[in-house]
Structure 1
């Protein structure tokens, strides 16, 4: 799948495009814009603005701690409309946190997938195409934060420190964020195909 190309006198390892197919195990959304946690629904309607009424919806968003290169509150393109999680990775995180389960709803997930190995490492520019016609363009992995950790901790009142433990153990397991490229409706049980683009490591020196 990988090949060596000589570009400008330097060998570059290229990985050809390919696809991986998984399954939608559940879809979730908030009921109020101020809510972080989500609730399971039968179908998830998405538009070019993301999920109508969701706190992460909109064509644009305000920059925050994830964008230290902009003054906080700068209006910018919203590439984080949708949160996509992996059932297999949630089980890994739960094991690392020594808790019996970790539900998508607790950490604000919108789509739960299974069957796509190492989902959180799927690269930017990937097209996630759903059986019903929706396409989500992946921006990148979702960095775990204390807010999500607090959502988990609320379900285990006898445990201390889960809010801080989550960001430590969930790095590169916390799923993906992306934006809607083709709108429509996503339902549990659909197939979801990740169209992985051609890849390379940019190392100019």
Structure 2
């Protein structure tokens, strides 16, 4: 075989291996970034504002502490090849440990509850199921609370002053109430280019620029 042809084949094999490895790594990173906890997914899908997200986090901790039996760990996130788990015990609910993915079985994922058996992390399927059911029930109740609060703040004919905004929320003042109180509202297209001091009127179920 011609030496140049052979070298070209070697280069192509190396290039293909690099592309395959790069593709695998990219797929893994995408998979990791797409993994969300039940809470984060619910917050994103239902446009939960920070006030009620905080309430969900507090209630999640309460559920975990209620169901805690001896030493229990709840996986709430994943960073790289490590799972992030909180210790489900009163006084330790903010303590976080990193658990390498290689140290747990393949059926473990975000929202799994683990227990330690002979110094090894094992999936507690029954408690994982209970946590899931209780969280789903709690999320729905808090969403209903948020919806009622939002409805009470959106008053037909009232003028709202824009204070500031972020990717998912805006902060407004109801000028008709004349109390200067700032409240959080869900980000909407009408607020996309808004600046501090801009006015909006709530008419027929939506905010409109007040000119």
Asked if these proteins are the same fold (TM beyond 0.5), I'd say: no
Instruction: State the TM-score, normalizing by the size of structure 2.
Output: 0.24
Q: Which of the two has greater helix per residue? A: 2
Instruction: State the TM-score, normalizing by the size of structure 1.
Output: 0.24
Higher relative contact order (CA 8 A, sep 6+): 1
